A and B are shown apart, each in its own frame.
Chain A
Amino acid sequence: MTSLAHSVLTGNRLALARLLTQVENDTPAGREGLNVLFAHTGQAHLIGVTGAPGTGKSSLVNQLAISFRKLEKRVAIVAVDPSSPFTGGAVLGDRVRMRDLSGDAGVFIRSMASRGSLGGLAQATAAMVQVFDAAGFDVILIETVGAGQSEVDIARLAHTTLVVEAPGLGDDIQAIKAGILEIADILVINKADHAGVESTERALKSMLDLAHPVEKVFQHHGQSLAVVREERTHSASEPAANLWVTPIWRTVATDGSGLAELVGSVQAHAAFLRQSGEWSMRERARLAAEFDLFIQQTLVDRFRARVPEERIDQVLESIQKREFSPREAANVLLSREDI
């Protein structure tokens, strides 16, 4: 019997769907599949689409997918919606806005519940995206809601992050202030057929101007991997080769207006990343973080398996009595040879 991962590589859609489930549930079969597929990853353009509920993200993802299909790209979509914190269940409704895409074998849509675990969502999303990447999808669109830590983590996963706004949602301009602006490579004012577009655009522009220098620094072991960028210039008409000036685009996702410009801009961003060397820098930073995380998880698991709980309790007690500092105690326990 061939494994799910091998069937995924030959284009079997059922195997793809089933492996995604295994990967999402972090099962041994899922982990094994990811190992097999890893050599085939690193090809896709990962595009994050985030913003407040109701701004039109799903509708926009639908339009983006249509546009990329016209360019003969194979498109995968991962649409994340929140799980209920009380029951752990979820209603995932993003497909409702993506019915134009059904019947097209070049598109694969997968809905995903956030399942409430903070680091877990980003990790599971990254793993699902790797499966699509290995399966040969050229473009992977990742829809997430809101501006929480998960969105920031998912933005770190994407090459290009679109932050979607809509006119007349005064409050979520606040959300933007709270940090989501820093993750935007491209800002989209969707629902441009509604009143208030100009004032939304003015507000966004002035916040972008405050946000200089536009420097996205990726830290790894305290070492900055990022190029130092120039300060944002106000005459941004001729962007320097190593400077991306976050553009603002207007769209109407229900009829496709503005999509050609937006898709052009998404492609220009990918070209910029490649040309400036940032594509591989981002990838390096992301892989380093993933590697670190696995090292940490493995070491912690090993530590817990080898050191009896009573011993840890004892040590905690002496820490609380101020006999050792936490760092000293950890050093003593970790100096055991079998860890």
Chain B
Amino acid sequence: MNEQKIRVLVAKPGLDGHDRGAKVVARALRDAGMEVIYTGLRQTPEMIAEAALQEDVDVVGLSILSGAHMALAPRILDLLKSNGQGDVKVFIGGIVPDEDVSRLKEFGIAGVYGPGASTEQIVLDIRAIIAKRA
């Protein structure tokens, strides 16, 4: 054994009802050798932070299509921080206007990916940021 796997929580906060995109990303991360904890639809920020803690993940990937990213993302970052998990990297996939992207990064979001982003790029970015942290 003695493997250090990258562990990623893939979560879908908010009320919009489909998770095809989240599942595609989850499978891509698995195929890149990561361990992905998939939590399903309609997760509250509290549920996401709790799962991130119990699973001791390195990365949280949020799929947000509802447009509620400006409300949800800072809330999730706060909860992670107050749980002692401020070092967890949070990525967002979804439809996010450019002006929001820079605000989200100021809050501490590590990366934002639109519908056109390649899963290869997401994998590379996660690997890079984890390598830098270690």
Contact = CB atoms under 8 A, between A and B. Distances in A.
A102 B30 CA distance: 25
A18 B56 contact: yes
Interface residues of B, number: 32
B18 interface: no
Contact of A26 (B2, B5, B39, B47): B2
Contacts of B7: 21
Contacts of A96: 38-40
B110 interface: no
Contact of B35 (A14, A27, A92, A95): A92
Nearest to B38: A93
B29 A17 contact: no
Nearest to B34: A89
Contacts of A20: 56
Interface size class of chain A, counting residues whose CB lies under 8 Å from the partner chain: 20 to 34
Contacts of B26: 91
Contact of B55 (A17, A84, A90): A17
Given A14-B85, A25-B3, A102-B47, A91 B38 contact: yes
Nearest to B83: A14
Contacts of A91: 26-27, 30, 36, 38
A88 B5 contact: yes
Given A91-B26, A92-B37, A93-B38, A109 B54 contact: yes
B5 A113 contact: yes
B115 interface: no
Interface of B: 1-5, 7, 26-27, 29-40, 43, 46-47, 50-51, 53-56, 83-85
Given A25-B1, A113-B5, A92 B38 contact: yes
Contacts of A111: 37, 55
The 10 lowest CB-CB distance pairs between A and B, nearest first, are: A89-B30, A96-B40, A17-B56, A26-B1, A89-B33, A93-B38, A21-B56, A102-B47, A14-B84, A88-B33
B18 to A, nearest CB: 14
Interface of A: 13-14, 17-18, 20-21, 25-27, 83-84, 87-93, 95-96, 99, 102-103, 108-111, 113, 115, 117, 120, 124
A272 B77 CA distance: 48
22 contacts: A14-B83, A14-B84, A17-B56, A20-B56, A21-B7, A25-B1, A25-B3, A84-B30, A88-B5, A89-B31, A89-B32, A89-B36, A92-B38, A93-B40, A96-B39, A99-B40, A102-B47, A108-B54, A110-B54, A110-B55, A115-B1, A124-B1
Contacts of A84: 30-31
A90 B30 contact: yes
Contacts of A102: 46-47, 50-51
Contacts of A18: 56
Contacts of A25: 1-4
Contacts of B4: 25
Contact of A13 (B5, B35, B53): B53
A89 B29 CA distance: 8
Given A25-B2, A92-B36, 7 more contacts: A14-B85, A25-B3, A89-B5, A90-B35, A102-B47, A103-B47, A108-B54
A109 B53 CA distance: 10
Contacts of B33: 87-89
A21 to B, nearest CB: 5
Nearest to A117: B1
A124 B2 CA distance: 11
Contacts of A90: 30, 35-36
Contacts of B35: 83, 89-90, 92, 113
